[in-house]
A and B are shown apart, each in its own frame.
Chain A
Amino acid sequence: MNLRTFLKEKLVPADIDQHVDGIRKMTGSLGYDPWGFNRDALKIGMTFVQHLYHRYFRVDAKGVDQVPADGPVLIAANHSGQLPIDGVLIGYALATRDKDPRIPRAMIERFFPTVPWVGNILNQLGAVLGDPVNCAKMLANNEAVIVFPEGIRGSGKLYRDRYQLKRFGTGFMHLAMKYNAPVVPVGVVGCEETIPAFGNIKPVADWLGVPYVPVAAPVVLPAKVYLRFGEPMYFSNVDMTEEEMTERVDQVKRAISDLIDEGLSERKRIF
C-alpha cells in the first residue's frame, strides 16, 4: 500500500469520497490526468481544506452557482495574502457546491515545479503551472480554470496596498476569447488579512529564486473570508488591438473591484 492509499483510507470521510467520485473528470486508466491531477489526492486535500474552509476561515461564499455547469470557463479573482489560499478556497467552494460541482484547475507560479514535494502535491490537487499553453489546453478540455490576472503582483502586495488591484495581464482575455470561455469575476475579501506583509526582503528572494520573501508574522491569521462570484461575462472572439483588449480586461477588473466592495461592505469585523 502506498502513502496516498493509506492516507485516503484513514482520513477521507465517506461523504467527501462519494462527492468527489460523483464529479465528472477525464482521467487516464490509473486515475491521473496529463497535468498530474489525481482523484484520491484531491479527496485527501479536501479532507484537510474542509476544516480550513468551514472552521478556520469560516468562508462566506455567495454566487458560486454563477460558474456554468460545464464547458470552458475562466474564474478570474483578485490575488492576495502571500500564499495561494484564495485559490484553494475558491476551488473548494466550486467543488462542494450542491448543484453541478466542478473540480477547477488553478494556475500557479512558475517556481512551484522546482520546489520538492510542494510542486507534486499541488499538481495532484489540480493546480497547474501558469503557462498560456497549459491554460489553452485546459480550456480546450472544457475545464474551469482559476486565474489571478494580477499574478505575483497581487499575492506579493503589502498590507498597506490591500484591496487595491494591481495591473492585470491580458493573457487570460486572449484565451477566453479564443476558446469562447466566459469569465466569472470573483472578489475575495479576507485573504489580505491572513498573512499581512509589511515589506519584501528582495535580496533573499533573489538568492532563493522565489518571487518575494515577505516581512510578516510566521502564522496564517484566521481572518474571515468572503467570496463573491459575479455573473459570467462573455466576450466575442473578434480581431482587436491590444488597446481594445485592455478595455475588455478593465471591464473584468471593474467587476472584480465591485465584488470586493460588496464583500467589504458586508464584512462586520476582520476576524
Chain B
Amino acid sequence: MNDQVKPAILVTGAAGALAQQVIRRLKRDYRVVAVDFREEVYLGPDVPSYRMDLNKRAFEDLFRKYRFQGVVHLGRILSSQESRMRRYNANVLGTENLLALSHKYDISRVLVLSTYHVYGANPFNPALIDESAPLKSAGLSMDLVDSVELENLATIYLWRYPHLNVTLLRPCNIVGPGVRNTMSQLLSGRRAPLLAGFSPMMQFIHIDDMADAVVTAFRGEATGIYNVAPHDWVSYRYALELCGCTPVPLPSIPPIVPRSLLKLLRLRSFPPYLMNFFKYPVIIDGRNFARTFGFEPRRSLDTIFRYYRENRDPV
C-alpha cells in the first residue's frame, strides 16, 4: 500500500522493545509515527521517529502534521525508573495531553497499555482477578499512584468520548528478548532475591505474544478494559529455578526488615514498593480478552524460561 494512502497512527514508547515489535507488525497496513520521551530511535526509513515529551506543546504539531486515525499508547516510565514526580508528569500529565489531543483531532481508535500492578499485591487478593476488581495499589504504595491515575484518565475518556474507542490493556509480567523491566532483569540475573517463605504465583507473557495482543486489540472493535495474561501459572521461586537463576532468600518478617534492607540495597530490579508483589500473588483472569478478541498466547512458559536459561552466558 502507498504510504500516502495508509492511515497514519501514533505509537508512543518507541524506544521500548514492545513498541518496536508492535510497530513492526503494524507498519505494513499503517503509516506509523513513533514517539519516545527518552530517545529518538531509528526504526527504518518508513517510520518517522521523534524524541518528545507528551506534555509539551510541540507534541500537538504531530497531530496537525500527520492527521492520525489511531493512537497506540505504550510509552510509560516504569515504576522502577526515574523519580516519582518525573513519572507522574510523563505518565499522568503526558497521557492526559495525549487523550485530549486524540479527542480534539477526532482519533477513532485509542489503545492504552496499563499494568497488572494497578490491582496491588494484597494478602487478601483472590486469584483470577477480573477487570471489575478495585484497584488497590494506590492504597498500598505511593510509587504506583501514577499507574492508577493513568488508568483513571483512560477510563474517563473511555466513557465520556465513545468515538475515541478506547481500549485499555492490563498485562501480566511482560518478559522475553529485549525487555528491560524489573521482572526481566530478575529472570536474567545469576542470582535473584526472594522473600524467605514467600513464593507467590505469577503469570508471564512473552513479548511477541504481548505485541500480538496489542495489535489484535488495536485492529479489533471492542472497547473497554481487559486483562491480558495466559491461562497458565507458576510460582516465583520455580520460575527463577527454571531460568537457571539462584534464589537468594531475604529475611521476610517482620515486614520492616525486608523493607529497610531493600531501601539499603537499592536494587533496581527489586524496589521496596514492589516488595509485596514478591510476597502475595496477583493472578489476573485474561479469559475475557481471549474470548473477545480470539487471542491465544503462542509461547509457553517453558519457551519463555528457556530463553533466559540459554542466554545467561552468551558466547
Residues of A in contact with B (beta carbons under 8 Å apart): 2, 28-30, 32-36, 38, 110, 113-120, 123, 128-129, 131, 133-134, 137
A55 to chain B minimum Cβ distance, whole angstroms, is 29
Task: Determine if A113 and B280 form an interchain contact, defined as CB atoms under 8 angstroms apart.
Answer: yes
- Docked pose: A25 CA to B281 CA in angstroms: 21
Task: Give chain A residues whose Cβ lies under 8 Å from the Cβ of B267.
Answer: none
- Docked pose: A29 CA to B232 CA in angstroms: 7
Q: Give residues of chain B (163-212) contacting chain A, Cβ–Cβ below 8 Å.
A: 195-201
B: contact size bracket = 20 to 34
- Docked pose: A137 CA to B129 CA in angstroms: 10
- Docked pose: A76 CA to B281 CA in angstroms: 27
Residues of B in contact with A (beta carbons under 8 Å apart): 123-128, 195-201, 231-235, 237-238, 241-242, 252-253, 280-281, 283, 300-302
- Docked pose: A219 CA to B126 CA in angstroms: 33
Task: Give chain A residues whose Cβ lies under 8 Å from the Cβ of B201.
Answer: 32, 34-36, 123
Task: Determine if A29 and B196 form an interchain contact, defined as CB atoms under 8 angstroms apart.
Answer: no
* 18 sampled A-B residue pairs with Cβ under 8 A: A28-B233, A28-B234, A29-B302, A30-B233, A30-B234, A30-B302, A32-B238, A33-B233, A34-B283, A35-B201, A36-B127, A38-B235, A113-B123, A115-B197, A116-B253, A129-B126, A134-B127, A137-B128
- Docked pose: A129 CA to B125 CA in angstroms: 8
Nearest residue (CB) in B for A118 is B197
Task: Determine if A133 and B280 form an interchain contact, defined as CB atoms under 8 angstroms apart.
Answer: no
Nearest residue (CB) in A for B251 is A116
B230 to chain A minimum Cβ distance, whole angstroms, is 8
Task: Determine if B300 and A29 form an interchain contact, defined as CB atoms under 8 angstroms apart.
Answer: yes
A39 to chain B minimum Cβ distance, whole angstroms, is 13
- Docked pose: A156 CA to B125 CA in angstroms: 24
- Docked pose: A269 CA to B299 CA in angstroms: 59
Q: Say whether, besides A116-B197, A116-B252, A117-B197, A32 and B127 are in contact (CB < 8 Å).
A: no
Task: Determine if B126 and A113 form an interchain contact, defined as CB atoms under 8 angstroms apart.
Answer: no
B206 to chain A minimum Cβ distance, whole angstroms, is 13
- Docked pose: A10 CA to B236 CA in angstroms: 24
Task: Give chain B residues whose Cβ lies under 8 Å from the Cβ of A116.
Answer: 195-198, 252-253
- Docked pose: A199 CA to B232 CA in angstroms: 45
Task: Determine if A2 and B281 form an interchain contact, defined as CB atoms under 8 angstroms apart.
Answer: no
Nearest residue (CB) in A for B195 is A116
> Which among B128, B198, B242 is the interface contact of A34 at CB below 8 angstroms?
B128
Task: Give chain B residues whose Cβ lies under 8 Å from the Cβ of A30.
Answer: 232-234, 238, 242, 301-302
Nearest residue (CB) in B for A32 is B233
- Docked pose: A203 CA to B170 CA in angstroms: 42
> Which among B200, B231, B238 is the interface contact of A2 at CB below 8 angstroms?
B238
